[in-house]
Amino acid sequence: MGCAAQTRTPLDIEVWTGNTPDQLLAALDLWRQWSLEDRGKPLNEIAWAQHTAARLRSQQCVYFVAYHDTEPIGMLQCVWEFDPFNDAWIGYGDHAYVHADFREEGVFRALYDAIYGFCEMMDFDKLALPVNTGPTGKFLKPFYESQGFEPTAIVMKQDAPWRKRKEDK
């Protein structure tokens, strides 16, 4: 990847449905980068492949991928479902990632605009955008708030406590 002072070519955003091996390999590479940077550990590629295949098979998942020249440099996944409790179709933007060399250059803004336009075209009732809790998510909350999004809930989680009980026996 280039340095920030380098002159950039126009940014392209593609919509992927995972129909080609090239798309899946490029998505895998972006996920590897995201996992190392955001989670501090290598991606579990078998789990990723199972998760991604299931989402793509559901035909309720697309990826928005940002390119610089021919290099994928960012992604934002969109999944959607009907929420019977709210009687609403909800689009979820997930796994936002922009390569470090391309941050502060409008890449995430272009990805956000793409998912926003997609959700508008699909006439979803709501758009939910989770905030990564790791380092790559630090820019998401202020950006989403600047677009009029409001925090809705805090997800609380813990590692599987039932496993710990089994280990203690």
Q: Give the model confidence (pLDDT) of 113-149 as tens digits.
A: 999 999 999 999 988 887 777 777 777 888 888 888 8
Residue 58 CA to residue 82 CA, distance in Å, equals 13
Question: Residue 169 pLDDT > 70, yes or no?
Answer: no
Pick the closest to residue 93 from 129, 120, 134, 132 (CA basis): 129
Average pLDDT, the chain: 81
* Higher per-residue confidence, 6 vs 38: 38
List, in order of start, the domains of the chain with CATH numbers: 11-168 (3.40.630.30)
- At residue 130, φ and ψ (nearest 5 deg) are -60, 150
Sequence-ordered list of residues with C-beta below 8 angstroms from that of 127, at least 6 positions apart, any chain:
90, 91, 92, 93, 115, 116, 119
pTM for this entry? 0.78
Residue 35 scores a pLDDT above 90: no
Measured between alpha carbons, how far is 112 from 149 in angstroms, rounded to an integer?
12
